[in-house]
Amino acid sequence: MGDVVSQPNACVCALEAKAETRMQLVDWARGVSRAIVSVDRSALEVGFTLRCTFGVAIPLVVAIAAGRAALGFAPAIGALICGFTSLQGIYRSRIATVLAVAFGIAVASFVGAMAAPNVVALVVITAIVGYFYGTISQLGMPASVAALNTTVAFIIFSSLPHTPREDLVQSSLLLAGGLIQVILLVIAWPIDRFTIERRGLAAGYRELAGYATSLATPDAAAPPIAALTAARQIVADQQPLARARDIARFTRILTDAEALRQRLATMVALRDKSVADVPAEFSQLVKAIGKQLDALASTLDGTSSADDLQGIRLQTLAEFEAFERAYAGNAFALALVRDISDHLDDATQAIAVVATGHPTRLLLSSQPRPAAYIQTRIDWLSREAIRDAAVLSLAMLIGHTIFSADRGYWIALTAALVLRPDLQGTINRGFARIAGTLAGAVLAALALLAIHANATFQSVGMIVAAGVCYLTLMPNYALFSTSMTVFVILALSLAGVYTGTIVDRVYDTLGGGALAMAGYLLLPTWARRRTRPLLADYVDTQREFALVLLGAYADSEHVDRNTLADIRTRAWKTRTELETSIERARAEPRQPHTIETDRALEILAATQSFALVSMALESGIETLPRAAPLVGLLPLRDALDRAMREIAAALRENRRAAIDDSLADAYDRVRQGAGGDDPAHRLVVHYAAGYVHSVKTLAGLT
């Protein structure tokens, strides 16, 4: 009888599982389709488009004027590629990346053209190029873009074999086109008038404003870091034409922002956790601080003037006075809010000086795109490098054996552009590339029929296509692929190279996209597998930071601020990499022996609660008078060290953390032995309880 009952239940479960799978596939297909058709209008950059398109137009117009339109082909390609590269970096890093690509594509194109007649040599060199592309890409986005563009140049010019002399001339013209973009980029700096610095710092202050306002709610968390880390990189990557006093002013504004972030995070610790409601004086103050920070951001980005700050500042001062009356008996709270007030005043004065005039609306040099704020490391035998080498060499082999050599490059080109370090990015790019190439092939064929091989019209078509490429690169990859296909086909036609039929392009694009996706599935680099080690690294950095702080309270004569700054930077970078890993893992299938994203987020939140305690203790060092050494903290520090090391080891080894009561016992001894009225002693005894609670929470989540 039991078997009779269980059989229908098993059928129901199987049907439910199939239905769930179908729904997941439908959701996945909708996500891919949205990625293909959606246009991010906020990513449109008209100034960047005009500058880079002008750079592509210069060699084409000069060549037409000289009566040798075909000579404009190579420098236009060089200018196009280096224009894309100029999206990366800020100032010095941007110029360095564009110069590296300009020389890189010149060398790569020469090597590709020289190797083209020998298929075996071409495939071997393609594998080497693919390996270095995957290896260099580990160093961050600017390096990845430089490596990709160099690879693209190698692939394109592998289909254009000439004599060694002609190949050298062609590579020199490519370099010249890239240098045109370098010159235009330098010319744009004084025109942009520190718009990059002002907008970057404004984003950081606006992020702080949102965080300050959130402190008025019961569920306030750790402060965000994205905008402030970008601002830090912008100020560090100084404009070469800037004067020392300008750099000093922006540095001052950034320093105030970083101090305010730490102090605002510390304010969370002032609230009584046993009371659900936020005290009125506390709530009104953080809202007023948020309003002033938002006004400072608006002054920086030019949406309001410095004159509007005075009235807002007076309102904030009134809330500071009300808070001080309510917390008159709390020495740390008073010292903290007075320090916040001082930094707000300093930031207001500095911003009033730099915010003269409005920032440039049409930013010619493009928005800053600093490298990801992560710890860069190279794995010389990484899956990315092996996958890129295998896929690109196989694509080149297929293109030059099964298909004709003069169009076989398109398969490898498609594979190079589709390959991404994550699953979702590879799939989205693959389908967007296929859709865009199909549309572009049709448009290019119609254009070639209409202009009847007229070199002037072909050059004009290339300029228009380049402009659309630059305009759509960030907002929509399918539209970019469409315009890029039109540009390449018109450019090769201008150079007298057979560009194939529409059907040829369809087969080549489908083949290249399929190879890239198959390569990822055969040699995947799952972000989910990196999440657990990154969580352990983040726990380790927070442990190191806490140990230095407790050591400073135990021996107040030795506060190692340089070490604290170094650890803080590592913690920010690890957190950035961890959050990226968790976000990518959401789009990946579940795998055995990996951590679920929801649980990873819980561990991240618990570690950030641990970090809030450290921020409070660091603020105490910065704002309170120097205290007498609290030697009894050393056993607590050692117990905390052991507990956090055990949690990190448990995360790496995928096991439960074995935590005993030694940390809680050490804290009880400190609490019982720390008497007196020293505010720093009371502060550390009060907030160190947060370490004990966070360790307990983290141990339960491993």
CATH code for the structural domain at 528-701: 1.20.58
d(CA 154, CA 110): 8
Hey, what are 523's tokens?
């040699």
pLDDT value for 375: 66
Q: Residue 25 pLDDT > 70, yes or no? A: no
d(CA 439, CA 431): 13
pLDDT in tens, 455-467: 999 999 999 999 9
Sequence-distant (≥ 6) Cβ neighbours of residue 601 within 8 angstroms = 582
pLDDT value for 128: 96
Most confident of 25-39, 79-93, 272-286, 345-359: 79-93
| Whole-number percent of the chain with pLDDT over 90 | 39
**89: three-class secondary structure by DSSP:** strand
pLDDT in tens, 307-363: 777 788 888 889 999 988 888 878 888 888 899 999 999 999 899 888 877 777 788
Burial tier of 569 (Cβ tally within 10 Å: 0-12, 13-18, 19+): middle
Q: H-helix or E-strand containing 221?
A: none
Burial tier of 570 (Cβ tally within 10 Å: 0-12, 13-18, 19+): middle
d(CA 25, CA 31): 10
pLDDT value for 202: 94
Average pLDDT of the residues of the chain:
86
Q: Residue 210 pLDDT > 50, yes or no? A: yes
CA proximity to 179, closest of 59, 47, 62? 59
Q: Interhelix angle for 383-401 vs 405-418, to 10°?
A: 160
d(CA 507, CA 434): 10
pLDDT in tens, 290-306: 999 999 999 998 888 77
Burial tier of 1 (Cβ tally within 10 Å: 0-12, 13-18, 19+): exposed
One-letter amino acid for residue 258 of the chain = E
d(CA 126, CA 416): 11
Q: Residue 232 pLDDT > 80, yes or no? A: yes
Give the predicted TM-score (pTM) of the model: 0.81
Q: Residue 99 pLDDT > 70, yes or no? A: yes
Q: Residue 5 pLDDT > 50, yes or no? A: no
pLDDT value for 1: 46
Per-domain residue ranges of the chain = 38-192+382-522, 195-354, 528-701
Residues 554, 630 contacting (CB under 8 angstroms): yes
Q: Residue 274 pLDDT > 60, yes or no? A: no
Q: Residue 21 pLDDT > 60, yes or no? A: no
Mean of the pLDDT values across residues 199-203?
94
d(CA 567, CA 134): 29
pLDDT in tens, 435-455: 888 888 889 888 888 888 789
3-state secondary structure 539-596: HHHHHHHHHHHHHHHHCCCCCCHHHHHHHHHHHHHHHHHHHHHHHHHCCCCCCCCCCC
**Whose structure tokens read 């060290």?**
641
Mean of the pLDDT values across residues 510-528?
86
Q: Interhelix angle for 73-85 vs 46-65, to 10°?
A: 170
Residue 536's pLDDT band (boundaries 50, 70, 90)? very high
pLDDT in tens, 605-651: 899 889 888 888 888 888 777 767 777 788 989 999 999 999 999 99
Residues linked to residue 89 through DSSP beta bridges, in sequence order: 369
| Whole-number percent of the chain with pLDDT over 70 | 90
pLDDT value for 32: 64
Q: Residue 123 pLDDT > 70, yes or no? A: yes
